[in-house]
Amino acid sequence: MTTAGFIFKNALRNKRRALLSILSVAVSLFLLVTLLVGVREMTVPPEDVGAAARIVVRNKISIATLLPPRQRPIIEAIPGIEAVTPFTWFGGSYKEEGAMAFGQFAIDPSKFPHLMGEAKLGPGELETFIKDRTTCIIGRASAEKYKLKVGDRLPLQGTMWPVDLDLRIAGIYSGSVDDRNVFFHHKYLDELLGSSVGVGTWWVKAKTLEDVPLVVERINKAFANSAAEVRAETERAFQLSFVSMWGNIKLLVQSICSAVVFTLALVTASTMSMAIRERFREMAVLKALGYRRRELFAFILAESFGLAAVGALIGVGGAYAIFTYGDVAAMTNNVFIMFEVTPRIIGISALVAAGLGIVSAIAPSIAVARMSVVKGLKTLD
C-alpha cells in the first residue's frame, strides 16, 4: 500500500464521521463566503459605466431637507455640466406591501438618457415617457417580479408624501447595474401636491471625468452661505454615506465570521482528536517499526488537511457556482443585485480551510508524540 493510500484509508475509516466533518467544513465555509460577499456588496455598492461622471447634490443639513427648485438654472449654468435633473425619492407602497417593493424616483424624463445612458428602452418607449407625465418606466427585474408589462397601471400609495400615484408603464428598461427602480415625472408629483414644494436631490452629469472635481467644487461654492447650502459629491461617495448610516456593519459581520471560524476550529480539532485516539495502537505499531514523530505528524496533517480541502472545495465552490450563475436578485427578493465572489474572498476562504487543517492536527499530533510504544500497544481499539 502506498503512503497516499494509507492516508486515504485512514481518513475514510469511519465514513459517517468523515462525511460529517467534510459537511461541517463545507457549510461553515459557504456561510463565511456568503457573509464576506454580503458585507462587500453593502459597503462597496456596484457601479455602472456612467457612475463616475454622476454627481449628487443634496441639502447640507440633511438629505431629508428639500432643496428649492430655483437652484436648477444656477447649477445648469455651471461650466462642465452636461445635464441636471431633480431626483426625488417617493417611497410609496405597491399592492399594500408592508415594505417598499422597489425604488421610486421623480425625475425630468428628458434628462434620463443623459444620466442613465447605459439603461436601454424599447423603440418609442422613451418618447412616450417624455410626452405623457402620468407615465413611468420600470426596471426589468421589478417588471418580471410583479409580472408587469408596457401599458399596465402602476398605482403607488404614498407613505412619505400625502398623495398617491396612478402611473401607466410607458417602458421597461434594462442594462443598468440596478434594473429594479421606477422613474416618473417630477411635474406629475408637483401637480398632485399643488405646487413645487422642492426636490430631494439634484443629479448632475459632468461632461468628462476630468470635470467632476471642478463641478463638485463649483456647485458647493455657488450655494455657500445661502439659505439652502448644498453638499455635492460623486455618486459613489453618496452611496457610501448611506452605508455609514447603518453603523459599523463591517465590524458586525467580521465578528460573526470570526465566531464561525472559531467554532469550526473547535469542531474539526475535536473530530481529529477522536479519530486519532481510536488509532493509538496503530500509531504505536508505526513507532515500533521505526517511523519518526515528524512522519506520524505528516500522516495526521495530511488526513486533516485533506478533509478540510474537500470541505472547502464543496463549500467555496458551491457558493461560487450559486452566486455566479444563480439569480441572486430572485434569491434575495431583490435586496441584492448581485453577489460577486471575488478572488480575494476565495483566497481568504482557502486560507481559513488550510488553517483549519493545520490547527485540527496539532492536538492529536502532540498526543501521539508523547505516547510511548508500550502505552500505545496497551490501548484498546
List strand residue ranges (DSSP E) for 90-216, in order.
Answer: 104-107, 135-139, 153-156, 165-173, 182-185, 201-206
Are the C-beta atoms of 303 and 14 separated by less than 8 Å? no
Return the pLDDT at 73.
93
Are the C-beta atoms of 108 and 189 separated by less than 8 Å? no
95: left (phi over 0), alpha (psi -120 to 50) or beta: left
Return the pLDDT at 376.
56
Return the pLDDT at 219.
94
Burial-class residue 330 by CB neighbours within 10 Å (0-12, 13-18, 19+): exposed
pLDDT digit of tens for each residue in the chain (381 aa)?
A: 566 665 666 666 667 877 888 888 888 899 888 888 887 776 665 555 567 788 999 998 888 889 999 999 999 999 999 999 999 999 888 876 655 567 899 999 999 888 887 888 888 999 999 999 999 999 988 888 888 999 999 998 888 888 999 999 999 998 887 788 899 999 999 999 887 778 999 999 998 888 999 999 999 999 998 888 999 998 877 877 766 655 567 777 778 888 888 887 887 777 777 766 666 566 666 666 666 767 777 777 777 878 888 888 999 999 999 888 877 766 666 566 667 788 888 998 889 888 888 888 777 777 666 666 556 565 555
Which residue, among 166, 15, 189, has the nearest Cα to 87 in the 3D structure?
Answer: 189
Supply 1's cell numbers.
Answer: 500500500
pTM score: 0.68
Q: How far apart are CA 10 and CA 275, in angstroms?
A: 9
